[in-house]
A and B are shown apart, each in its own frame.
Chain A
Amino acid sequence: MVLVLMNSFYSKGKIPPYYLFFLLTVSRLVVVMTFIQSLSYSKINNDYFISHLIGFAVTLLMSVPAILCISLKKNPLKNKIISRIYFPYTVFLSAIDTARFSSFSATRINSQHSSIIFTILILLACAYGAYLGIEALGRFSGFAFAVLIMGIVLLIAFNIPNFEFINLFPLIESSNTQIIERAFKTTSNTNEIIVYLIIADKLTEKSNKPFVLSVSSSYIISLCVMICALGVLGDYISTQTFPIYALSQMASLRGFGRLDAIHTAVWIFASFIKLSLMIYCSMKCLKIKSNKLSCLICTVLTLAVSIIFSNSMLSSQKGLSPTVLFIIFALFNTVIPLISLFVKKRNYGDELLENY
């Protein structure tokens, strides 16, 4: 009886839904911790919160086809060909995240070393993390989540004395077009939909709640962090490539100051989870039997593409066109799942296997 109960809670190679929540929330919050202003559509200002809320609504809306695909057992990624079409997109996402990590490391943390060294170091660690599998990543994500939330709470709490309400005004500085475009840029930074599509069959229980909760909570937390940054830094925020790092430099409580070290440490934990998860997702999309070989291929490709992106970020401080990014995002996260909803037949075979 006890063994039956235990088996119903634990399945090898699968994770409980709350691990998914931790993984996706940490993955999303890393985006705000290393928010690179020069890659956003226009300079950050007080109407950012409007873009953020619109982005939140758009993200939830665009994730509906993916959620329905998983609920109705019509996941497009079950198909080997489609899965391999997703493979370059997942490598692209991993490479962007790696490039941001090494760009931040090489500019703010240690400007004496080349960004390639940081790229190689983080990818070595993340390749090992991805190789260990989703269970190991899930367990570590719980720890990273706790550390990240503690870091964010400290960051906001220690900046309360520096917060000036007047810095949030004028409330609207950008045009309506700029606000909408920034909202869509925020949405296209979302990796969580595609991660959910890839690892949905790794959950012990089928539930969409962790996904919706993780997107909602990460958007709300990042909104709080950005409002804090705007209220503390004022117009100074528009001069900072990494405004959240500047916010952590301002954090202090009486004699206890200079908390940028905590920001760096917390961010490294979270980045490790995110990058390992993205490499793991690339491995799943590649659908090669040998785990080692797929891990090696994904890591090498991520390294190559991220070096190209790093050079672009450091030299010209420009990312890809926001329109192109959004079109690619929409295609893989919404259009293909939507087509699959209408075209793909329900996979009764998998259902029977699960019930059996």
Chain B
Amino acid sequence: MRTIKILACILASGLLLSGCSQTYTLSEMSIVQGMGIDYENGNFEITLQVLDTVKEGSGVDALSGNITTTLSQSAQTISQAIAKCSEISAKKIFIGHNNIIVFGFDLINDDITKSLDYLIRSADSRPDVLVALSKTSAKDVMKSEEKGSLIPSEAIFDLLSSGEETGVSADVSVKDLISAQISDTSDIYLPVIIAEKDKPCRVEGIAIFSKSEFKAILNEDETLGFLFADNKVDRCTVTVEDSQLGKIGIEVSSSKTKTKVIPSADSLGVFSKVKIDAQIIDIEKNSNANLSEDKVKQIEKLLNEKIKMLCLNAFKTTVNQNQCDAFHIGKMLSKSSLKHYREFSKNWNHYLSGAQYSVEVKSSINKINDNSIRD
């Protein structure tokens, strides 16, 4: 009896754990690394960047150069277009390893929410996939070679992830996008990518939306200010100018921003405190490595003013001019006063346009050059 039970367990394990039912080998699958979504004339055009197992090669030629190819199809819905890609590649499309989703500019000019339902409803959709906006078409980004890169989508993924930490771009995932779109007060924002022929992709600012409607693209300074105000910057380089020392390159090694929202009877007050640790990297007109304490304090003051200006401009453009609540001001208001939140959220754009922003920056320069530490 015991032998029969043991044999039954072995048989059951063999049948159930081997996963032999409806399995696909790697050569039967198109493994998606990046997805581009464009919209034209009522149709979605999907461009998938998939691994090309034939190109991988073997021996000395193995894993050199771009090992991906692109599949592109149009249909009335995203899922139908993806299914058509499967038909032309004659392989099963596997989206589980997708790194990024890029929206084409024509999609956001129409209505970005058209594509969001797929991101919620599809079983293949993952919340940790990064999203971005192409300044031209998503197809251009997906077809971009990213010279020297094995998988261009991975290079773009790294560009976006590190971009937020260094103050040049934003790192927005599917979860962040849907969360902002559903929220009663918060708004969407997306990093913008430019793909140029024979050049690697680069990030150029942040696209801001108000109630899912595209409003503007923040420039380089506004993007840095946006990220400082949103407590997203880890480290970055800022240049300030002094009448005696000329241009001074300062590396911000850490940054922390705390924001509070205090409502009054009919307006919003937003207060930020930014605390920065920095080090001076280069000074245009100073051949002498030593700097007096007064000079260091002056440079700190210049840095404070610069960061303050960046934050103020970013807030003015994002919130006041375009009524985009990318800073989650609504949620911060609910933290301060639930009563005001409930009242103001009924006409949120009106209160955003009149919101008063003030920022206090406190920087501390810790190193003057590589070998000296400030006393």
Contacts and interface: CB of A to CB of B under 8 A. Distances in A.
Interface of A: 107-108, 111-113, 121, 166-167, 169-172, 233-236, 238-239, 246, 249-250, 252, 257
Contacts of A252: 128
Nearest to B331: A169
Contacts of A108: 123
Nearest to A257: B128
A236 B178 contact: yes
A210 to B, nearest CB: 31
A252 B341 CA distance: 34
A189 to B, nearest CB: 25
Contact of A235 (B21, B179, B338): B179
A155 B186 CA distance: 27
Given A233-B127, A236-B127, A166 B332 contact: yes
Q: Say whether chain B's binding surface is mostly helix, strand, loop, or mixed.
A: helix
Contact of A239 (B120, B176, B186): B120
Given A167-B331, A236-B175, 7 more contacts: A108-B123, A167-B179, A170-B341, A172-B338, A235-B178, A236-B176, A249-B126
B128 A235 contact: no
A43 B245 CA distance: 59
A171 B338 contact: yes
B179 A234 contact: yes
Residue of A111, A121, A166 with most partner-chain B CB within 10 A: A166
Given A107-B123, A166-B332, A250 B175 contact: yes
Residue of A111, A250, A252, A257 with most partner-chain B CB within 10 A: A250
Interface in B164-184: 175-176, 178-180, 182-183
Contacts of A113: 21
Contacts, number: 58
A238 B182 CA distance: 9
Contacts of B335: 166, 169-171
Given A235-B179, A250-B128, A169 B334 contact: yes
Contacts of B338: 170-172
A108 B120 CA distance: 13
The 9 closest A-B pairs by CB, nearest first: A170-B334, A234-B179, A236-B179, A235-B179, A235-B182, A169-B331, A236-B175, A169-B335, A239-B120
Interface in B312-331: 328, 331
A249 B16 CA distance: 24
Nearest to B327: A166
Contacts of B243: none
A257 B16 CA distance: 26
A166 B179 contact: no
Interface in B78-130: 120, 123, 126-128
Contacts of A246: 127, 175
Contacts of B331: 166-167, 169-170
Contact of A249 (B22, B127, B341): B127
A250 B338 CA distance: 29
Contacts of B180: 235
13 contacts: A166-B332, A170-B331, A170-B338, A171-B338, A235-B180, A235-B182, A236-B175, A236-B182, A246-B127, A249-B128, A250-B127, A250-B128, A252-B128
Contact of A234 (B123, B175, B341): B175
B10 to A, nearest CB: 15
Contacts of B126: 249
B311 to A, nearest CB: 18
A239 B182 contact: yes
A107 B122 CA distance: 10
B263 to A, nearest CB: 13
Residue of A167, A234, A252 with most partner-chain B CB within 10 A: A234
Contacts of A171: 334-335, 338
A272 to B, nearest CB: 13
Given A239-B120, A252-B128, A121 B182 contact: no
A235 B182 CA distance: 7
Contact of B123 (A111, A166, A236, A238): A111
B142 to A, nearest CB: 23
A252 B128 CA distance: 10
Contacts of B341: 170
B332 A169 contact: yes
Nearest to B186: A235
Nearest to A112: B22
Nearest to B126: A249
Interface in B115-152: 120, 123, 126-128
A246 B125 CA distance: 10
Contacts of B178: 235-236, 239
Contacts of A236: 127, 175-176, 178-179, 182
A233 B128 CA distance: 10
B310 to A, nearest CB: 22
B183 A235 contact: yes
A170 B261 CA distance: 13
Residue of B123, B175, B178, B179 with most partner-chain A CB within 10 A: B175
Contacts of A172: 338
